[in-house]
């Protein structure tokens, strides 16, 4: 539908308020009749009056409009209409210029039945699945032991009591930040979305639980709202959905990172059981003790087997054998050395005897003498000296001085 052109005013020629209201009324009147979907937040039936006033609220936003219709129209299309029901109506927007309010005038009202609601939910489910909001690969695993848990649930509800009681029973030191919201009715979705934003922005929160007790399909409709599903999808913190009973599966169950069948199951999934963990630690320590003891026993058996071998059972035998070998080798070396020394001594004595027999001193002892000139040269022939030359005569004992008196 193309929007009608609206003439603009200028600062020099401003419009009076009544003109603005008239133009808004005329522009809204051009919208014509439209089909509107919403949730009935309030019904006002005045006794004796033919007009019924309804407050129609958007299930996904904090927005509502007043609807007027004829009692016969309402009795014909939705005779048992109650607050909180979903309706589809054929209405015409109207702008009341005197008060500056927008309302709807309906000539047909249809209460949305359970079958139609389920069909709409199935259509929305296929849409969200096609966009990847249910993809398994994007789901995150909550931490094994969260330091602080965010809980979104109804005030003083059984779901809140189940989560807190079971979680603290399993792990007494667990901490919670609880935000109480409406979990059904027209204000449920906006409040839950706001609570998700608050907890997701809290850096101390490690995981968020969205919990509610059981109820009818209509009661659980807020948890299949598209806006809530998208808010859960965009959370940076892992979200656990614990809505209704095990058979209840609102759309937020498919978007959440973890789907718990009940609020009690959510507590079991989020925190470990202290008693069970202590039992597992005790069992692991027992297994470790047995493993270490078994390893030590096997190594001791190996040592005993090695020590039972002859070489280790009597290691002194090997030492004694080696000592005997060393003693024999040492005796053999001593004999060889003595033999070599005696042979070398005999050879030295023979050599010394030969030297003594050939030495000049031995010749002198036999009565010979050595005649030398004054310059020390030995006289070997008479022609080596001249008459009257001084001579030196060396004897076996002592020396004599002589002079040449003639040649023979």
Q: What is the DSSP string of 30-69?
A: TT--EEEEEEEEEEEE-TT-SEEEEEEE-TTSS-EEEEEE
Q: What is the pLDDT of residue 1?
A: 44
Q: What is the pLDDT of residue 29?
A: 79
Q: What is the pLDDT of residue 116?
A: 66
**Cα(170)–Cα(271) distance, integer angstroms:** 7
Give the H/E segment covering residue 400. strand 399-403
Residue 70 in contact with residue 105, Cβ under 8 Å?
Answer: no
**Cα(131)–Cα(272) distance, integer angstroms:** 34
**Cα(376)–Cα(389) distance, integer angstroms:** 13
> How far are the Cα atoms of 64, 113, 137, 244, 249 from residue 215, in angstroms, in the given order?
25, 17, 31, 6, 12
Give the H/E segment covering residue 310. helix 310-313
Bridge partners, 92 (sequence order): 105
Name 12's Cβ contacts closer than 8 Å, sequence gap at least 6: none
Q: What is the pLDDT of residue 7?
A: 59
Which residues of the chain fall short of a pLDDT of 70? 1-13, 60-62, 113-117, 407-408
Q: What is the pLDDT of residue 150?
A: 94
Secondary structure (3-state) at 86: strand
Name 389's Cβ contacts closer than 8 Å, sequence gap at least 6: 373, 374, 403, 404
**Cα(3)–Cα(309) distance, integer angstroms:** 106
Q: What is the pLDDT of residue 147?
A: 87
Q: What is the pLDDT of residue 229?
A: 92
DSSP string, 98-112: TTTEEEEEEEEEEEP
Pairing of strands 390-394, 399-403: antiparallel
- Token pair belonging to 345: 């001594």
User: Within 13 Å of residue 235, how many CA atoms lie on the same side as its CB?
Assistant: 35
Q: What is the pLDDT of residue 80?
A: 79
Residue 158 in contact with residue 213, Cβ under 8 Å?
Answer: yes
Q: pTM (2 decimals)?
A: 0.54
Local structure of residue 407 (DSSP, 8 states): -
């Amino acid at each position: 539908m193309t929007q009608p052109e609206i003439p603009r005013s200028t600062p020099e020629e401003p419009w009076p308020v009544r003109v603005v209201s008239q133009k808004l009324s005329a522009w809204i009147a051009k919208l014509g009749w439209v089909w509107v979907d919403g949730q009935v937040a309030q019904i006002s039936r005045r006794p004796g009056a033919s007009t019924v006033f309804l407050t129609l609220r958007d299930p996904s936003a904090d927005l509502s409009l007043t609807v007027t219709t004829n009692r016969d129209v309402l009795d014909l299309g939705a005779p048992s209409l109650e607050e909180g029901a979903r309706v589809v109506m054929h209405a015409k927007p109207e702008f009341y210029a005197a008060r500056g309010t927008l309302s709807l005038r309906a000539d047909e009202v249809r209460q949305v039945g359970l079958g139609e609601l389920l069909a709409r939910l199935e259509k929305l489910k296929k849409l969200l699945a096609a966009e990847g909001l249910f993809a398994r690969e994007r789901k995150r695993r909550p931490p094994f032991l969260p330091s602080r848990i965010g809980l979104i649930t109804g005030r003083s509800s059984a779901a809140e009591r189940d989560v807190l009681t079971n979680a603290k029973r399993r792990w007494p030191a667990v901490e919670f930040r609880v935000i109480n919201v409406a979990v059904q009715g027209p204000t449920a979705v906006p409040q839950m979305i706001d609570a998700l934003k608050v907890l997701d922005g809290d850096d101390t929160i490690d995981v968020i639980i969205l919990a509610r007790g059981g109820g009818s399909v209509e009661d659980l409709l807020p948890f299949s709202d598209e806006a809530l599903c998208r808010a859960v999808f965009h959370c940076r913190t892992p979200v656990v959905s614990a809505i209704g009973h095990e058979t209840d599966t609102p759309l937020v169950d498919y978007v959440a990172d973890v789907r718990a069948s009940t609020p009690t199951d959510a507590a079991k999934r989020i925190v470990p059981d202290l008693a069970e963990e202590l039992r597992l630690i005790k069992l692991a320590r027992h297994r470790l003790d047995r493993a270490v003891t078994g390893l030590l026993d096997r190594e001791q058996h190996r040592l005993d087997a090695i020590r039972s071998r002859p070489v280790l059972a009597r290691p002194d035998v090997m030492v004694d054998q080696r000592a005997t070998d060393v003693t024999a080798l040492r005796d053999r070396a001593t004999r060889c050395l003595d033999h070599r020394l005696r042979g070398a001594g005999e050879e030295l004595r023979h050599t010394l005897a030969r030297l003594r027999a050939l030495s000049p001193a031995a010749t002198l002892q036999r009565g010979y003498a050595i005649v030398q000139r004054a310059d020390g040269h030995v006289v070997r022939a008479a022609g080596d000296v001249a008459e009257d030359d001084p001579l030196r005569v060396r004897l076996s004992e002592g020396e004599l001085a002589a002079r040449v008196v003639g040649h023979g």
